[in-house]
């Protein structure tokens, strides 16, 4: 781009260069004492009007004109004067022979990080359009440059799409005026054009490089010293990078998480960290409302029904609000083969998927479908590194300022999933320093679980934040609410067990373990808290405490059974495979960890399946180290 004449170029000694302004040049591109090519567009008594560009025109007074003119004639002129109101007057320039040199408009770009300093002044921004939203008033183009995303309001007419040819993904140059909004700046668009060819490539490369840089996660100090955890850190950093990049690119994020204590401890910190980063990137407190959504999932895997629903919403949001399709973030969920059909549904659309989970993964099944995958089992660690623990670090990598609000969260996560990690002591100590003793942490965990049950498919953002005491100031309410919910949860567990314990069938297995069976359909209240999985878990825990011996507990309903065991070397995935083969027409499926899991079967084969299962358990060796404490999905 030739930018000379707009500055002080020294090319003013009457040489033979005449400047030809590009159509988009403005008055700012016109220098004094420079000859410009003009075209006559009107003739009046007192002179002729000339155009130098689309927006630069002015009068040449008849007193300085000689000869006759027709509209359309060319004329070489120099600037004579500029009036207060901006009207320009020109005079003919005498240049003899000349060569034309075209002049591009001088677009000095202003980064979206410097809008504040330029409020009220016309500036230029170059970036990629990441969303085009038609409002009842202006059309809002969200434009991402190297520094952030800014909404650019172009008003054509109320409710009318401005610049209909500009689409998401285009690289554009916006000319406009930044204006203050409450907590944000918006550009009022004066002009907007799509960059073409090299200009676009160059701008896109510049922006991409910058986003690469900015997407890098913060290098946060681990909350505690835990070598095992450090093995996961590079993977978490990869996820943090991906999520930050997603935000920088203006793509929405949909979080699906396991609806229990650990799942909440995982999802809420990441949600809030992302919300704050989104608000920052967009310089808009309202942006997170449209760009991130957290949804609890009832099943321990990503169901087809949820996937079709998510896809539906995503396609509708694209249609209605001009949004990009979202990234799907699976938390405390999403590592297993059961997730595959739902994932495959989404892969036909531009929907990246990321999972952070600590359930026993099936990397062969999900590996190719995930854009990133964090799971302790991928590093020879296990469920004891809970998803909540991972996600607290992840949240800090995304938005480190959140750290002080999260110090108690890993301990809650650990207690929720009964993590036997050695690091639990350190996490508990960390929480204690924040005023959370173990009982209070336990209460938070129970309260989360209880609230999750009644919230069903609602995220209950405010309520959960009150329970978890993140992003929230009213400690009094937090404490009272936690106590109340935790107490209710315990009472309802007691009620449930009052009914159930009387019907527990006990058997001494040959291997010396106790086997307890309970028909949760017949001997527990249905459709209320605690659900069958948790009911079974609570019975199991009581029996371990009561006996001090190895214990296996089976809670069964009409077509499912939940298994818990401690001190017994089971291999549930293997048992399920065997049952599948041994019981034709049993419709057996299921899975879990070695010593904890759940099985589905057809109702009519329940007795046979469970009897066969127990038989297999008879043969299992005892092993003190094995515990089903967590993370069973109630």
Q: Which of residues 289-348 bind its own copies (CB under 8 A)?
A: 304-305, 307-309, 311-312, 315-316, 319, 341, 344-345, 348
Instruction: Please list every residue from 413 through 452 that binds its own copies, using CB under 8 A.
Output: 451
Taking the complex as a whole, how short is the minimal distance between the CB of residue 273 and its own copies, in angstroms?
A: 19
Interacting span for its own copies (CB under 8 A) from 46-54, 125-133, 457-465, 530-538: 457-465
Interacting span for its own copies (CB under 8 A) from 151-159, 240-248, 508-516, 566-574: 151-159
Taking the complex as a whole, how short is the minimal distance between the CB of residue 501 and its own copies, in angstroms?
A: 7
Long-range CB contacts (< 8 A, 24+ apart) of 70-73? 70/40, 70/43, 71/40, 71/41, 71/42, 71/43, 72/39, 72/40, 72/41, 73/39, 73/40
Instruction: Please list every residue from 344 through 373 that binds its own copies, using CB under 8 A.
Output: 344-345, 348-349
User: What is the torsional sign of CA 6, 9, 14, 15?
Assistant: negative
How many residues lie near its own copies (CB under 8 A)? 73
Rule CB under 8 A: is residue 137 a binding residue for its own copies?
A: yes
Taking the complex as a whole, how short is the minimal distance between the CB of residue 241 and its own copies, in angstroms?
A: 28
The DSSP result for 367-392, as a single string, is GGG-SEEE-GGGGT--TTS-HHHHHH
Comparison of 498 and 624: residue with beta carbon closer to its own copies: 498
Rule CB under 8 A: is residue 526 a binding residue for its own copies?
A: yes
Rule CB under 8 A: is residue 159 a binding residue for its own copies?
A: yes
**Structure-token match 């309520």, residue found:** 463
Rule CB under 8 A: is residue 46 a binding residue for its own copies?
A: no
Report the C-alpha gap between 112 and 141 in whole angstroms: 14
Taking the complex as a whole, how short is the minimal distance between the CB of residue 149 and its own copies, in angstroms?
A: 17
**Dmax over Cα atoms in the chain, in whole Å?**
120
Instruction: Please list every residue from 172 through 211 that binds its own copies, using CB under 8 A.
Output: 179-182
Comparison of 154 and 374: residue with beta carbon closer to its own copies: 154
Taking the complex as a whole, how short is the minimal distance between the CB of residue 334 and its own copies, in angstroms?
A: 18
CB 36 within 8 A of CB 29: no
Comparison of 365 and 501: residue with beta carbon closer to its own copies: 501
Taking the complex as a whole, how short is the minimal distance between the CB of residue 453 and its own copies, in angstroms?
A: 9
Q: Could you tell me which of 291, 316, 321, 284 has the C-alpha nearest to residue 135?
A: 321
Taking the complex as a whole, how short is the minimal distance between the CB of residue 480 and its own copies, in angstroms?
A: 5
Comparison of 240 and 524: residue with beta carbon closer to its own copies: 524
Taking the complex as a whole, how short is the minimal distance between the CB of residue 284 and its own copies, in angstroms?
A: 10
Report the C-alpha gap between 135 and 602 in whole angstroms: 52
The gap between the terminal CA atoms of the chain, to the nearest Å, is 65
Give 466's contacts (C-beta < 8 A, 6+ positions apart): 472, 474, 477, 478, 481
Comparison of 226 and 529: residue with beta carbon closer to its own copies: 529
The 10 Å Cβ neighbour count of residue 252 is: 22
Comparison of 31 and 598: residue with beta carbon closer to its own copies: 598
Comparison of 23 and 315: residue with beta carbon closer to its own copies: 315
User: What is the torsional sign of CA 447, 327, 320, 292?
Assistant: positive
The 10 Å Cβ neighbour count of residue 312 is: 10
Taking the complex as a whole, how short is the minimal distance between the CB of residue 488 and its own copies, in angstroms?
A: 6
Comparison of 18 and 153: residue with beta carbon closer to its own copies: 153
389 CB burial (10 A radius; 0-12, 13-18, 19+):
buried
Instruction: Please list every residue from 85 through 114 that binds its own copies, using CB under 8 A.
Output: none
Comparison of 248 and 307: residue with beta carbon closer to its own copies: 307
Rule CB under 8 A: is residue 400 a binding residue for its own copies?
A: no
Q: Could you tell me which of 330, 336, 376, 332 has the C-alpha nearest to residue 354?
A: 330
- Of the residues 124, 133, 161, 204, which one makes contact with its own copies according to CB under 8 A: 161
Comparison of 159 and 169: residue with beta carbon closer to its own copies: 159
The DSSP result for 326-360, as a single string, is PEEEEES---SGGGHHHHHHHHTSS--EEEE--SP
Report the C-alpha gap between 532 and 607 in whole angstroms: 18
CB 623 within 8 A of CB 568: yes
Rule CB under 8 A: is residue 506 a binding residue for its own copies?
A: no
Q: Could you tell me which of 323, 321, 295, 292 has the C-alpha nearest to residue 307?
A: 295
Taking the complex as a whole, how short is the minimal distance between the CB of residue 297 and its own copies, in angstroms?
A: 15
- Of the residues 429, 456, 508, 615, which one makes contact with its own copies according to CB under 8 A: 456
Comparison of 88 and 185: residue with beta carbon closer to its own copies: 185
Interacting span for its own copies (CB under 8 A) from 6-14, 71-79, 168-176, 523-531: 523-531
DSSP 109: B
Instruction: Please list every residue from 586 through 615 that binds its own copies, using CB under 8 A.
Output: 586-587, 589, 600, 602-605
CB 421 within 8 A of CB 383: no
Comparison of 103 and 520: residue with beta carbon closer to its own copies: 520
Asked if the bond preceding 6 is cis, omega within 30° of 0, the reply is no
Instruction: Please list every residue from 485 through 504 that binds its own copies, using CB under 8 A.
Output: 485, 488, 495-496, 498-503
- Of the residues 16, 41, 102, 458, which one makes contact with its own copies according to CB under 8 A: 458
Comparison of 76 and 274: residue with beta carbon closer to its own copies: 274
Taking the complex as a whole, how short is the minimal distance between the CB of residue 90 and its own copies, in angstroms?
A: 28
Helix residue ranges per DSSP H, 418-474: 424-433, 438-455, 461-468
Give 333's contacts (C-beta < 8 A, 6+ positions apart): 256, 257, 258, 263, 297, 300, 301, 302, 339, 355, 357, 359
Taking the complex as a whole, how short is the minimal distance between the CB of residue 120 and its own copies, in angstroms?
A: 12
Taking the complex as a whole, how short is the minimal distance between the CB of residue 585 and its own copies, in angstroms?
A: 3
- Of the residues 64, 477, 611, 619, which one makes contact with its own copies according to CB under 8 A: 477
Rule CB under 8 A: is residue 559 a binding residue for its own copies?
A: yes
CB 88 within 8 A of CB 56: yes
């Amino acid at each position: 781009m030739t930018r000379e004449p707009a500055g002080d170029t020294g090319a003013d000694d009457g040489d033979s260069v005449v400047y030809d302004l590009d159509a988009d040049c403005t008055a700012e591109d016109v220098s004094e004492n420079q000859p410009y090519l003009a075209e006559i567009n009107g003739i009046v008594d007192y002179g002729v009007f000339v155009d130098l560009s689309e927006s630069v025109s002015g009068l040449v007074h008849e007193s300085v004109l000689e000869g006759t003119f027709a509209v359309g004639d060319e004329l070489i002129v120099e600037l004579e004067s500029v009036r207060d109101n901006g009207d320009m007057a020109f005079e003919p320039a005498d240049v003899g022979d000349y060569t034309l040199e075209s002049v591009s408009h001088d677009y000095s770009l202003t980064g979206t990080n410097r809008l504040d300093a330029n409020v009220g002044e016309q500036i230029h921004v170059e970036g990629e359009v990441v969303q085009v939203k038609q409002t009842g008033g202006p059309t809002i183009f969200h434009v991402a440059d190297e520094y952030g995303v800014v909404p650019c309001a172009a008003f054509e007419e109320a409710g009318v799409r401005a610049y209909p040819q500009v689409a998401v993904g285009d690289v554009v140059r916006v000319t406009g005026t930044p204006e203050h909004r409450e907590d944000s700046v918006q550009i009022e668009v004066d002009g907007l054009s799509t960059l073409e060819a090299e200009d676009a490539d160059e701008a896109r490369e510049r922006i991409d490089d910058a986003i690469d840089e900015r997407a890098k996660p913060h290098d946060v100090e681990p909350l505690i010293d835990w070598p095992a955890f450090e093995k996961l850190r590079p993977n978490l950093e990869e996820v943090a990078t991906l999520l930050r990049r997603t935000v920088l690119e203006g793509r929405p994020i949909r979080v699906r998480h396991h609806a229990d204590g650990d799942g909440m401890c995982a999802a809420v910190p990441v949600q809030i960290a992302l919300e704050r980063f989104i608000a920052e990137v967009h310089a808009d407190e309202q942006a997170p409302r449209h760009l991130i959504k957290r949804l609890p999932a009832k099943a321990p895997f990503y169901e087809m029904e949820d996937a079709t629903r998510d896809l539906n919403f995503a396609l509708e949001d694209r249609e209605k609000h001009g949004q990009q399709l979202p990234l799907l973030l699976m938390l405390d969920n999403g590592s297993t083969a059961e997730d595959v059909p739902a994932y495959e549904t989404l892969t036909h659309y531009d929907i990246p998927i990321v999972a952070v989970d600590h359930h026993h993964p099936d990397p062969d099944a999900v590996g190719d479908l995930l854009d990133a995958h964090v799971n302790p089992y991928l590093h020879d660690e296990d469920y004891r590194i809970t998803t909540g623990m991972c996600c607290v670090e992840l949240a800090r990598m995304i938005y480190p300022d959140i750290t002080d609000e999260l110090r108690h969260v890993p301990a809650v996560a650990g207690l929720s999933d009964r993590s036997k990690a050695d690091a639990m002591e350190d996490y508990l100590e960390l929480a204690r320093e924040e005023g959370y003793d173990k009982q209070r942490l336990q209460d938070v965990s129970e309260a989360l679980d209880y609230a999750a049950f009644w919230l069903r498919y609602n995220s209950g953002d405010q309520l959960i934040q009150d329970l978890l005491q993140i992003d929230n100031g009213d400690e009094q309410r937090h404490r009272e609410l936690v106590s109340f919910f935790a107490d209710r949860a315990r009472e309802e567990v007691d009620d449930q067990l009052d009914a159930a314990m009387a019907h527990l069938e006990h058997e001494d297995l040959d291997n010396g373990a106790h086997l307890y069976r309970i028909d949760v359909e017949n001997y527990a209240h249905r459709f209320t808290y605690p659900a069958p999985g948790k009911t079974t878990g609570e019975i199991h825990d009581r029996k371990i405490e009561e006996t001090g011996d190895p214990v296996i507990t089976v809670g069964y309903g009409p077509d499912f059974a939940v298994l818990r065991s401690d001190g017994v070397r089971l291999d549930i995935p293997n048992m399920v495979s065997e049952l599948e083969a041994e019981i034709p027409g049993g419709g057996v499926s299921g899975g879990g960890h070695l010593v904890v899991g759940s099985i589905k079967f057809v109702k009519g084969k329940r007795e046979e399946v469970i009897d066969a299962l127990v038989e297999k358990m008879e043969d299992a060796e005892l092993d003190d180290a094995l515990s089903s404490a967590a993370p069973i999905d109630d």
